[in-house]
Amino acid sequence: MSNQRIYKFTWKRNFFKNSIKVIGHSLDKESGKMILYLPNGGLREIKKWSECEIFLGEDWKIAVDLKVKETTGS
């Protein structure tokens, strides 16, 4: 695996919060699902994403900054 950073992806639907460690996430607008990319190479889908609230912390910002540096070469 490259220098991918693992970060905690936390979401809430109604009153229930869930967390999972991921290496990335993306929204599938067509299906309305959030796709989570797991460190072991697996995937997890969260259906009805528009009904959820997301919580991302400093570890997510560090992962994004690392990806930007790798992409731009700076």
CATH number listed for the domain at residues 7-72: 2.30.30
Handedness of CA 56, 58, 60, 64 (dihedral sign): positive
Distance CA 63, CA 10 (A): 15
pTM for this entry? 0.82
Give pLDDT tens digits for 24-71: 999 999 999 999 999 999 999 999 999 999 999 999 998 888 888 888
Exposed, middle or buried, 11 (CB in 10 Å: 0-12/13-18/19+)?
A: buried
Domain locations along the chain? 7-72
Give pLDDT tens digits for 1-31: 455 789 999 999 999 999 999 999 999 999 9
